[in-house]
Amino acid sequence: MSIPISFDNISYFGNEFRGDLIITPGVIYYFPHTNVTEELHRPRTERSAVLTVITHSLGFSAAVIHSVATLGAYWHRTMSKSQNRSKLRASGLWKDGESYRELQTRLDNYIDQVRRQPAKLVGYEYELPKPMRFAKDEISNLIVSRGRLRFDSEFDRHDFKIGFRYQRSLRNALWEGNFIQPTAMSHKWAVSSR
């Protein structure tokens, strides 16, 4: 494995938000892209004409089937986790083949621009958090356990649900990024000294 690496559609803040977690040497980034609460309350206009006709013809059972199918499509589109398919690639913020230093420079510049924008006064409850940057020396109490990445920064505790499927890849990326070191026991990891 080589970094930078992304873990995509990762939940943050008790699954309130989904975003892409990016591990680079010495810096962890999180780019939220989905407000889960807002998505769950958004009206579904994605019905096909065929399912609408079936729903009206067959009544309640077809409506239940349609709801389950719609929820399944929503879940797959917005909630399924992946690796190295970050939405940042489509936006041009992450370009294939570039060095991690070029990526870090571009992401840092973007985060600086976003932080300088004034906060909106209306609709703040559905506002996404701004992208986050955590340098190694700003992180303490880093733990990778039970499919989660947890650590403290200067003012907050951060908890990202990675899932068991990507836990080993995350540990390897954190090791490669010099955030953790393997201890004498191969299944135990320790936080790297600052």
**What's the pLDDT tens digit per position in 84-117?**
778 888 899 999 889 999 999 999 999 999 999 8
DSSP β-ladder status, 157-161 and 82-83? unpaired
Q: What is the pLDDT of residues 43-58, one digit of tens each?
A: 655 444 445 554 555 5
Name the residue with higher pLDDT: 63 or 165: 165
Residue 33 has pLDDT above 70, yes or no: yes
Query: Which residue from 15, 47, 55, 49 is spatially nearest to 32, judged by alpha carbons?
Result: 15
Average pLDDT over residues 68-80: 51
d(CA 16, CA 36): 5
Q: At what angle do helices 60-78 and 49-58 cross, to 10 degrees?
A: 150
Asked if pLDDT for residue 36 goes beyond 70, the answer is yes
**Mean pLDDT across the stretch 20-26?**
96
CA 50/CA 72 separation, integer angstroms: 17
Q: Which residue has the higher pLDDT, 78 or 152?
A: 152
Report pLDDT for 2: 84
**pTM to 2 decimals?**
0.76
Other Cβ atoms within 10 Å of 167 Cβ, number: 16
pLDDT given at position 23:
97
Both tokens of 103, joined, read 């990526």
Q: How far apart are CA 41 and CA 56, in angstroms?
A: 23
- Residue 75: the pLDDT is 47
Strands (E) in the chain, as ranges, are 5-12, 17-24, 27-35, 82-83, 132-135, 140-145, 148-152, 157-161, 180-182, 189-191
Mean pLDDT of the residues in the chain = 80
pLDDT of residue 48: 46
For 5-39+79-191, give the CATH class: mainly beta
Residue 69 pLDDT > 60, yes or no? no
- Measuring CA to CA, which residue among 40, 2, 16, 4 is closest to residue 161? 16
What is the residue extent of each domain of the chain?
5-39+79-191
> What's the pLDDT at 49?
47
